[in-house]
Amino acid sequence: MILKNVQSIPISSIPEMDFAFFRDFLIGHVGKGARLNALFARPDGDGEYVLTAMLAFDKTGELAVASARVWESYKALTPEMPQAHMFEREIAETYGIVPKGHPCLNPVRFIRHGRTGTDLPIIGVTDYFRMEGEETHEVAVGPVHAGVIEPGHFRFQCNGEKVLNLTISLGYQHRGVESALAEGLGKKTIPILETVAGDTTIGHATAGCMALEAICGVIVPERAEAIRAVALEMERLANHAGDLGYLAQDIGYLPTSAFCGRLRGDFLNLTQRICGNRFGRGLMRLGGVGFDISDALADELARCLEKAGEELRRAAGLLWEKPSALSRLEGTGVVSHADCKALGLTGPPARACGEKMDVRANFPAGAYSNIKTPIANWNTGDVFARAKIRGLEAENSVKIAASLLRALPAGPTLAQMPPLKPDMFAVALVEGWRGEIVHAVTTGPDGAILHYKITDPSFHNWTGLAIAMRGAEISDFPLCNKSFNLSYCGFDL
């Protein structure tokens, strides 16, 4: 079944294929350039499960959704389609469905009943990959870190200073976000969406609202769509500015670090001018937005954005012009284009490898339907490329947000939300600052939410960080890690 971004369809229209055909269908299309951006299971009967997969076709702006029925096991997709590796591990540990032939079924989130129905009494205990030899040694970092960050375990297999393999183990938090959203619409819905990943408040809240609005058939007012897009670009600007500063700090280049630290705060403060919260909490509402922007404020915000954007361009330019800084960024933490494609990386890490992939351009919805969004692109796949992409995207975001603010459509900012329609499936894609955010919602016969699936870009990109470290020096890890700057909580749903 082919659908567009932010579209709902009856569940009955999703084709249920024989599993062998389903498997060939997915592998065949991914081999031709499609991306697997969602794969999940839901119980349906005694011991039966429905696997649902969604493919993204970036060149045509189309999404394909298909399903197959499985029982206690099925032939794994991962050996022929590595993009499925994390999805299949998640399904295995959640429902005990074993993808036979999967190369590594280590837990994703250490769900208690485990993949075989047995208990996993100690979170973090798993079979880590090991390399043996006289010159090899192992370095374990986390899950408790020296900084004030969330828990994550990194285990390096090294030969001297060279990293041969990095295993990343997350899943320490058990937040239960998807199951909480599946309880139905209520006062908790927006706060939960806003905290899927706290630094992506606008991105996830927008995606969640769009998916639920599609189920209800709500037409969001144009003014609200424009304000949502402005807030999304401000969130992108704040985080890209922060990341450029952190990267400069990691290599000891203080001018860019100091400038970007201040500019991140400036962008956050502009969001606060709209809704009273620096991260945008309270702005998104089902059916639109909770705050309007007056003409005077819109003009002031546009001018402040352009001023801060120019300062950010110059601060980042210092980084591109300093040979000693470039020598630390270029050639460090390289991910090849082939590995990027195989793993289904998304966002700046994918665009740094040459992928022309951006939801705003490939799957435009809301205000982006009327905007021609340029796709920032580089092709070296290293730390420099991931930093450069952020600089280019920041320049584009200033132009997009300022133009929207100077031409806000007239009209209301909120539409009435009717009850959810029964037996429907809807999907919403949003280009968050880390990459593609996917929210897929399925309703049951009574209109209640039957299943809620979220794919944060970090779900794909943590493996990209592990690949980037192969062959690198272990001292490069902080820099490589910051160049991806992935979310722990966005992964641990």
Residue 42 lies in a domain: yes
pLDDT for residue 282: 96
Q: Can you give the pTM of this predicted structure?
A: 0.95
The answer to whether residues 37 and 55 touch, using CB atoms and an 8 Å cutoff, is: yes
**Residue 164 reports pLDDT greater than 80:** yes
In the numeric block, which tokens belong to residue 379? 């092709």
Would you state the pLDDT for residue 124?
66
5 pLDDT band, cuts 50/70/90, is very high
In a domain, 74, yes or no: yes
Total residue count of the chain as it appears in this document:
493
pLDDT grade for 119, boundaries at 50, 70 and 90: low
Going from the C-alpha of 115 to that of each of 38, 90, 98, 104, 179, the distances in angstroms are 20, 9, 7, 12, 18
Non-local (6+) Cβ contacts of 462 within 8 A are: 168, 170, 484, 486, 491
Mean of the per-residue pLDDT values of the chain: 93
More reliable by pLDDT, 341 or 123: 341
- Specify whether the CB–CB gap between 227 and 209 falls below 8 A: no
Domain residues for the domain of 83 are 2-131
The per-residue pLDDT for 135 is 83
Q: Check residue 52 and give its pLDDT.
A: 97
Query: How many Cβ atoms from other residues are within 10 Å of residue 433's Cβ?
Result: 27
- Residue 104 maps to which CATH number? 3.30.460
Q: Cα 251 to chain center, whole Å?
A: 26
Q: End-to-end distance of the chain based on CA atoms, in angstroms? A: 28
pLDDT digits (tens, 9 = 90+) for 303-353: 999 999 999 999 999 999 999 999 999 999 999 999 999 999 999 999 999
Please give the single-letter amino acid code of residue 123: I
Residue 114 pLDDT more than 50?
A: no
Q: Is residue 213 part of a domain?
A: no
**Is it the case that residue 155 has pLDDT exceeding 90?**
yes
pLDDT tens digits, residue range 476-489?
Answer: 999 999 999 999 99
Q: Is residue 72 part of a domain?
A: yes
Q: Does residue 119 lie within any of the structural domains?
A: yes
Which class for 391: exposed (0-12), middle (13-18), buried (19 or more C-beta within 10 A)? buried
Residue 446's pLDDT band (cuts 50, 70, 90): very high
Tracing tokens 């991806």 back to the chain, one arrives at: 484
pLDDT at 106: 87
Nearest to 258 by CA among 270, 269, 249, 268: 249
User: Is a pLDDT exceeding 60 seen at residue 117?
Assistant: no
- Is residue 429 helix, strand or coil? strand
Q: Is residue 421 a part of any domain in this protein?
A: no
**Across-strand partners of 153?**
169
Q: What confidence tier does 146 reach under pLDDT thresholds 50, 70, 90?
A: confident
> Is 369 within a domain?
no
pLDDT of 147 over the 80 cut = no
- Distance (Å, whole) CA 119 – CA 388: 45
40-61: pLDDT as tens digits: 999 887 789 999 999 999 999 9
Q: Give the total number of structural domains in the chain.
A: 1
**pLDDT value at position 126?**
78
> Is residue 442 assigned to a domain?
no
**How far lies 174's CA from each of 109, 304, 441, 489, 491, in Å?**
7, 40, 21, 9, 10
Reported as a pLDDT band with limits 50, 70 and 90, residue 100 is: very high
